[in-house]
Amino acid sequence: MVISKLFSPIEIRGVTIPNRVFYSPMCEYSCDSDGLATDWHMVHLGSKAVGGAGLVMAEATAVTPVGRLTPSCPGIWSDAHIDAWRPVAKFIESQGAVPAIQIAHGGRKASYTRPWDFPKRNLEAEEDGWPIVGPSSVPFDDTYAVPHELTKSEINQISQNFAQGAVRSLDAGFEVIELHFAHGYLASSFMSPLSNSREDEYGGSLENRCRFALETIESVRNAIPESTPLFVRISSTEFVEGGWDIEDAIQLSKWMKDTGVDLVDASAGGNSANQTVNPSPGYMVPFADAIRREAEIMTGAVGLITEANQAERILVEGNADAVFIGRELMRNPYWPLYAQAQLDGKSEHWPIQYERSSFDATYAGPKA
Ligand SMILES: Cc1cc2nc3c(=O)[nH]c(=O)nc-3n(C[C@H](O)[C@H](O)[C@H](O)COP(=O)(O)O)c2cc1C
């Protein structure tokens, strides 16, 4: 049987991921209270593992209560969160997929309404909201609150919160940690000269604006075993003239590689209300490609990757080492089974319970 690149395993540190279809982290806004994962997370993530994704990543999960994007977002700041996530990670693993988690701090974009709540606004205390924080007192736009400018000791504390969150995630059974440093959330807002106007060592030069990210990576890397893969999602550009761009992202990726990051998940945008971008199929693949070639680090490509041949081409042409797929896997959790049948003529990851429904099964009428 011919094995496509998409369905060949990839080994990162001590973990072998059975194929290169990675389920992209997708916020679900579905915690009942206190950031605890629910049955929704089990079904939502479990279905992607049943469907054959090689790695299934849980959504942006806050390392402190004020880091949640909304009051319905999950957390990993206490032992109760470990207990809530454990069955989810265990189920993903039982299906042969690698359970991964994206740990996050929403910074100046936290304490906001869920996408289906209107009007969109910063939530006040009486609506279960909380005061938000950022590198500088610059709000994202006029629907967001003005963030409290973090002090140096508060910055250091958040790096430690990430390290503790990573350790708790491993306790819960996740095997890969991704740091969410993209989309205008806390680390991303430190990186951009448009949202960071600090005059201390966390602002100004590129090196200073990347300091919080790199210190956090160092804290996390020191807290987790050598064998644990560490991914970082970044915004490769913020799509604004004079803002953070791909050259900055390449330099950051070189520094991240030296600090023990294994894979850069190359997303983009989300830090500025003035961004201009027209998404088209594979529109962010060139970022994964540029970072992979110039920083010589593994990358994941993401963004409107929906076709088996498209995903295969990205890998064969060396643009990335894996593809992160979000919305297409939400629409069709069984996409990897179809994609492998298309590329390799047979699906290897068919769940045993579904075997009589597999593409090459012969079915001669009801037996049971
Ligand atoms: C509903 C929804 C929730 C998302 N949540 C997250 C998230 O938790 N973390 C993150 O890094 N990106 C998040 N994203 C971005 C996706 O992970 C992905 O990068 C984006 O949808 C582009 O990939 P796609 O075209 O395959 O969907 C979200 C996107 C959507 C539509």
Query: Which domains does the chain possess?
Result: 10-357 (3.20.20.70)
- Helix residue spans in 61-100 (DSSP H): 79-94
The first and second tokens of residue 182, run together, are 């993209």
Residue 267 near residue 258, CB atoms below 8 Å = no
288 lines ligand 1 (CB under 6 A): no
Residue to mutate, 22, 24, 235, ligand 1, most ligand atoms under 8 Å from C-beta: 24
Q: 298 phi and psi, to 5 degrees?
A: -65, 145
Q: Are residues 212 and 155 in contact, defined by beta-carbon separation less than 8 angstroms?
A: yes
Q: Kindly state if the Cβ of 90 falls inside 6 Å of ligand 1.
A: no
268 near 292, Cβ under 8 Å? no
CA 190, 193, 198: angle at the middle one, nearest 5? 65
- 336-345 burial code (b ≥16 CB/10 A, e <16): bbebbbbbbe
pLDDT at 76: 98
Give the number of the atom of ligand 1 that is nearest the alpha carbon of residue 302.
Answer: 23
User: How many residues are recorded in the chain?
Assistant: 368
d(CA 246, CA 243): 10
With 0-12 / 13-18 / 19 or more C-beta atoms within 10 angstroms meaning exposed / middle / buried, residue 351 is middle
* 10-residue mean pLDDT series, the chain (368 residues): 92 97 98 94 98 98 98 98 98 98 98 97 96 98 98 98 98 98 98 98 98 98 98 98 98 98 98 96 98 98 98 98 98 97 89 89 70
CA distance 55 to 53: 6
Whether 279 is in the pocket of ligand 1, judged by its Cβ within 6 Å, is no
Q: Give residue 159's pLDDT.
A: 98
pLDDT, position 2: 72
DSSP state of 112: B
Q: Is 304 in the pocket of ligand 1 (CB under 6 A)?
A: yes
CA 183 – ligand 1 centroid, Å? 10
Cβ proximity of 57 and 102 under 8 Å: yes
25 CA to centre of ligand 1 in angstroms: 6
Q: What is the DSSP letter of 202?
A: T
